[in-house]
Structure formats: C-alpha cells, structure tokens
Amino acid sequence: MSSNVKQYNLKELKTPIATRIGKGLLYILFLVILTTGTALITLSYSLRDAEVVNVAGSLRMQSYRLAYDLQKQSPELEYHIDLFGQSLHSSAMQSLNSFLVPKTILQQYQAIAQRWDRLHQLLVSPEKASYLNDVQSLVDQIDNFVFSLQEFSEDKLKLLSWIGGGCLGLILFITIGIVNFVRKKVVKPLDQLLDASRQIRDKNFTIQVDMHNETELGVLALSYQDMAKELKQFYQGLEAAVDKKTHELQHANSSLQILYDCSEALSSSRLATHNYQDVIDSLNNVEGMIACQLWIDEKGGGHTELQSGFERDVPWHSYQLEINGMLLGQLRWQHQTDDAEKVLMDNIGRIFARALFFNHSQKQIEQLILMEERATIARELHDSLAQSLSYLKIQMTLLRRNLDQDFCQQRCTISTEIVQEVDLVLSQAYTQLRELLSTFRLNIKEADFGEALNQMLIPLDAQTNAMLVIDNQLLSIELDAQQQVHLLQVIREAVLNAIKHAECDEIAVYCGVENKQIVVSIIDDGIGFDPAQPKPNHYGLSIMQERASRLSATCEFNTQIGSGCEVKLTMDMDTKEYKNESV
C-alpha cells in the first residue's frame, strides 16, 4: 500500500526540495566565485599600481633635477639623465603594456617616452640649455599621466566594490529566499512529522498531517500516515505475539520448575514408592496433562504401577526408561494435544531413569559391602574358631580312645562321662559354627530382590527332589539393602529346614505386599513338627526369630505333626527400625 501511495504522489511532485536548495546554493557559490575571482584579478593587476604611480611621480622630480643640474652645471647631469631613462623604461612602467590598461594611459606613456627621446638628444647636445624651456610642459604632461594612472587605479577599486556589493546583495537575497523556503517547506513539515512521531511514540497511530504532496516531505507525510496505519496493525500483531511469547516463557519457566522439583525429589539417597508417587502427582501441574503413569520393572519379574489423574479415551504417549541397555520401566502420559510437552516428559523420563538406575546401583553397592563384610567374618571364623574347634574335636577323639582301653574302664567311669559331655557340646558348637559359616558365605550379587531370590534358591533346588515354587510380588524398591539381605536369609533358612527335615514334595515361597505390610511365607507339605518341642542341636528357628526382631517384624511358625509347616514373616512397609548389626 505504501508503494502505491508513493508512486501516486511522485506523479504530482514538483521540483524537489533538494533541487531547489541546491540551485540556490549553486547561485550563491557562483556569486562567491565571481566576487572572489574579480577581487583576485583586480588585486593581481593592482599590485604594481602604487609602484607605477610612484615611478611616474618621481619623473616630475627628476625633470626638475635635470634643470637644476643644467643651471649649476653639475657633474652628475649625465648620471641623472641615465637615471631618468631607467625610471621611464622600468619594469613597472613596462607593465602598462597590457590589454587591461586603457589606451589613453598607454598613449600618454608613449608620448612621454617619445618626448624624452627628443629631450635626451637635446641634453647631450651643445644646445642643452634649451631644455629649461621644455621642463614645465614635460612636468605638466607627466602630471596628467600620473592623474590618469590614479583615476585608473580608483576606477578598478570602484568596479571591485560594485561587483562585491552586488554579489553580496544577491547572496543575501538568495540566502533569505532559501531560509524562507526551508522554514516553509522543510521546518514546518518536519515539526508536523515530529509531532506525529511523538503521537506514535505515545501509541497513538491515528495521525493526520496537514501537508500537500508538492514536495518530498508531502510524499513522506502521506507515507508516514500509511506507515502509522500499518504500524498500528503491526503493533497489535506484536502485542499478540508478545502475549504468546510471554505465555510460552511462563510455560517454559513452569516446565523448568517442574524439572527442578522432580530432580530434587529424586536426588535423595533413599527412594521409596511414595517418592515416585509424589513426583507423578506433581506432573498434574503440567498444563493440559490428563493422566500419567509410571511403570517400574525388575529383572526378577513383576512391576510397580503408579498413576495420577484420570485417564480418558485419548492416545497414550510413552517414554522407555532405559540406561546402558537396562530397561527400568516406562513413563506414560495422556495430554490434551498431540505431541505436546514431549520434550518435558522425555526429560522427566530421563530423570526417572537416572533415579531408578542410581537407586539400583546404590543398593547393589550396599549389598556387596554387606556381602564382603559377611565373607570377612566367615574367613575370620574359619581361620580362628573353626580351626580351634576342629583341633579340640581331634584331641577329644584321641582322649576318648585312650579312656576306652580295658585298664581304664573301671577307674575312669566318671572321667569318661565328662569327656562324652564335653564332646557332645563341642560337636554342637562345631555344627552351629558350620551353619553360621555357610550363612555368612551366601553370595548375593543382584540388587533386584526377585533376581537375587531366584539366584539364591537355584542351588537349593538342586539339593532336593521336592518341587520349589516361587511366587514373588515384592519389589526391591520397597526394601533397602539391610532389609533385603535379612529377608533373603530368612527365606534361605526356612527352605533349608524344609529340605533337611520336612520330607516334603513341594515347597512354596511367596513374597508380596498385603494391607501395606510386607508378607513372606514359606510353606511345605512335609511331616511338620511340634513347635513346643524343638529338636536339639537345631538353631534355624532361633536364627529366623532373631532376624525378624532385627527387622522389627514378626515371625510365626504354623505347623503340627503330619500337616506340613508354614513360616510367615510380616513387616510394616514404612518401618526402618532395625538393629545395625552384621547380617
């Protein structure tokens, strides 16, 4: 639209302002050059006027001096005659031979020169006294010549003054015209444009400039009005864009805050299900979020599903929680618009993946530390107490053999009974030590509870013909390293007791969560036993009771003779109070 207006105004445009001002400045420049050139020319041709007048004036004095020399018969007459000729034909007098010098002055000069030639011949002749009669007329002729030179010099100065004054007058007239033209055609329109600019600065885009389009500023004014209209549209569009960008920045800031909160919430060294649930719940603050789900998978089977919001009949978006080739779960969400917040949710998915991976790695490290501690204790027991007990058993065997000889049978009856009792206690201690060493040497490498349970029961399954059934619904996310090791030891001890003493066909191991309690149950279909009459030299039940007490849990033995046995351990999920002892 602006281009069309500009073409329309250019058709009606008169002489441009710049052209008019440029012509005026060219006129002024021409007059200045004319005045300066005239002055320079006049000055250059007036440089020797004073010298010419002076030399011409000196000729009068020299004329009288020659007359005086004749009367006094001065010996310097010849010198003065030569001096007069030199003055008359000097370079200053020769400069009169110019086309700028009036012919009358040149004629007067030539007449004086011709007369001097005659007088000079007369002065060197015997009749030189007749010179005295021509002196006065010569002086008068020279006076007329000097007066003519003076008038010529004055005429040149008058001409220079008239030319300079005229040019200055024209310059003044042109300058006044230019100033008036600029004030009318430039300053006033510029004031209007400046006022229009202030209105635009104050966001008033409805401007009217009272100006004809006979000059460039007229075209500019019309273009300015059109520009204001377009600027109004642009400004309104810009306000809408700014509002949109502001909303986007606020949304980005909200997303960054959510990312920060998620990262901070999942940076704890101990993470449980409620920590992940809190983060999932906070995702409802994401604009347009409908529902969100977090699936946490474990290698041993099973998964935890956490959800916030109410799902609708819209597509689900997902992000696989995977680090270093380890699939840890999946983050799924429903949003009001397709592919919205994908970058944000992908970043949150990475935070979840890192949190799960670091939690898994930390638990594995803690578990390895516990296993290393247990192995160290086992080595110490084996190298110290086990060796001593083995040595004592050997010595007791030798002592009993010696006491069994015939010559000591009657005299050492009491000593034999004491030795048998010591041997019995020593065997019990050695058996208990071997069981402790076997327990301490249990190697659990996996951080996932389900996978660690499977690996632990594989060698036990090879030791029995009974069917070993495993039903694990308990995830390691609910346990820390200490709790996980204690539970695995309880399960191992219960399964070992069933293998050794139950004479069963099936052993079922169940781990799960019921009513916010962790429940571990080991059931066999064996011969059972009477809990009120524990078998001697067997410490499995007491060991399981001790471990349950360390977990602040309860351990029950539901059995009777001929009906199998159930070992059931129950522990609150939120309990963390266990004795910080070696496991």
Q: How far apart are CA 230 and CA 208, in angstroms?
A: 14
Task: Quote the pLDDT of residue 76.
Answer: 84
In a domain, 402, yes or no: no
Mean per-residue pLDDT, 307-327: 82
In a domain, 307, yes or no: yes
Q: 3-state class of 75 per DSSP? A: coil
Could you tell me which residues come within 8 angstroms of residue 513 by beta carbon, excluding any fewer than 6 positions away?
473, 474, 478, 519, 573
Measuring CA to CA, which residue among 550, 537, 543 is closest to residue 567?
Answer: 543
- Does one domain contain both 192 and 288? no
- Does one domain contain both 267 and 186? no
- Does one domain contain both 323 and 257? yes
Task: Quote the pLDDT of residue 489.
Answer: 83
Are residues 530 and 537 in contact, defined by beta-carbon separation less than 8 angstroms? no
pTM for the predicted model, two decimal places: 0.42
- Does one domain contain both 192 and 57? yes
Q: How far apart are CA 481 and CA 365, in angstroms?
A: 9
Task: Quote the pLDDT of residue 9.
Answer: 46
Encode pLDDT of 74-107 as tens digits.
Answer: 888 888 888 888 888 888 787 777 777 788 888 8
In a domain, 4, yes or no: no
In a domain, 378, yes or no: no
How is residue 55 annotated by DSSP?
H
- Does one domain contain both 485 and 336? no
Encode pLDDT of 12-34 as tens digits.
Answer: 555 566 677 777 778 778 877 87
Q: How far apart are CA 552 and CA 107, in angstroms?
A: 148
Mean per-residue pLDDT, 124-148: 81
How far from chain centre, in Å, is Cα 150? 87
Task: Quote the pLDDT of residue 522.
Answer: 93
Q: How many other C-beta atoms can be found within 10 angstroms of the C-beta atom of residue 63?
A: 22
In Å, the largest CA–CA distance within the chain is 209
- Does one domain contain both 71 and 178? yes
Average of per-residue pLDDT values in the chain: 75
Task: Quote the pLDDT of residue 155.
Answer: 79
- Does one domain contain both 188 and 292? no
- Does one domain contain both 69 and 135? yes
In a domain, 157, yes or no: yes
Encode pLDDT of 461-517 as tens digits.
Answer: 888 888 999 888 887 777 777 788 888 888 988 898 888 888 899 999 999 888 888
Give percent above pLDDT 90 in the chain: 4
Q: How far apart are CA 166 and CA 158, in angstroms?
A: 12
In a domain, 97, yes or no: yes
Are residues 288 and 297 in contact, defined by beta-carbon separation less than 8 angstroms? no
Q: 3-state class of 340 per DSSP? A: coil
What's the chain's Rg over C-alpha atoms?
Answer: 65
Full strand arrangement of the beta sheet holding 326-335: 303-309, 289-297, 326-335, 317-323
The identity of residue 484, as a single letter, is: Q
CATH number at residue 454: 3.30.565.10
Indicate the residue among 305, 334, 357 that finishes a domain: 357
Q: How many other C-beta atoms can be found within 10 angstroms of the C-beta atom of residue 515?
A: 8
- Does one domain contain both 23 and 165? yes
Task: Quote the pLDDT of residue 69.
Answer: 81
541 pLDDT tier (thresholds 50, 70, 90): confident
Q: How far apart are CA 525 and CA 466, in angstroms?
A: 10
Q: How many other C-beta atoms can be found within 10 angstroms of the C-beta atom of residue 466?
A: 19
Number of structural domains in the chain: 3
Mean per-residue pLDDT, 531-551: 73
Task: Quote the pLDDT of residue 521.
Answer: 94
In a domain, 130, yes or no: yes
Per-range mean pLDDT, top range of 144-153, 282-291, 407-416, 496-505 = 496-505
429 or 551: which leads in pLDDT: 551
579 pLDDT tier (thresholds 50, 70, 90): very low
How is residue 183 annotated by DSSP?
I
Task: Quote the pLDDT of residue 415.
Answer: 55
CATH number at residue 181: 1.20.120
Task: Quote the pLDDT of residue 323.
Answer: 80
Cα dihedral sign for 322, 328, 329, 333?
Answer: negative
Render the burial of 491-514: b for 16+ CB within 10 Å, e for the rest.
bbbbbbbbbebbebeebbbbbeee
Task: Quote the pLDDT of residue 3.
Answer: 44
- Does one domain contain both 339 and 257? yes
Are residues 363 and 484 in contact, defined by beta-carbon separation less than 8 angstroms? yes
- Does one domain contain both 261 and 193? no
Could you tell me which residues come within 8 angstroms of residue 523 by beta carbon, excluding any fewer than 6 positions away?
507, 508, 510, 564, 565, 566, 567
CATH number at residue 312: 3.30.450.40
- Helix H, strand E, coil C: the string for 354-421 is HHHHHHHHHHHHHHHHHHHHHHHHHHHHHHHHHHHHHHHHHHHHHHHHHHCCHHHCCCCHHHHHHHHH
Render the burial of 155-190: b for 16+ CB within 10 Å, e for the rest.
ebeeebeebbeebeebbeebeeebeeebeebeeebe
Measuring CA to CA, which residue among 374, 366, 363 is closest to residue 492?
Answer: 374
- Does one domain contain both 120 and 181? yes
Indicate the residue among 324, 357, 390 that finishes a domain: 357
Q: How far apart are CA 522 and CA 52, in angstroms?
A: 147
Q: Structural domain of residue 51, as residue ranges?
A: 17-197
pLDDT higher than threshold 60 for residue 444: no
Which range is least confidently modeled, 41-50, 162-171, 257-266, 519-528? 41-50
Task: Quote the pLDDT of residue 583.
Answer: 42
Per-range mean pLDDT, top range of 331-340, 382-391, 459-468, 531-540 = 459-468
In a domain, 381, yes or no: no
Indicate the residue among 317, 338, 357 that finishes a domain: 357
Which range is least confidently modeled, 272-281, 304-313, 467-476? 272-281
pLDDT higher than threshold 60 for residue 578: no
Q: How far apart are CA 405 and CA 393, in angstroms?
A: 19
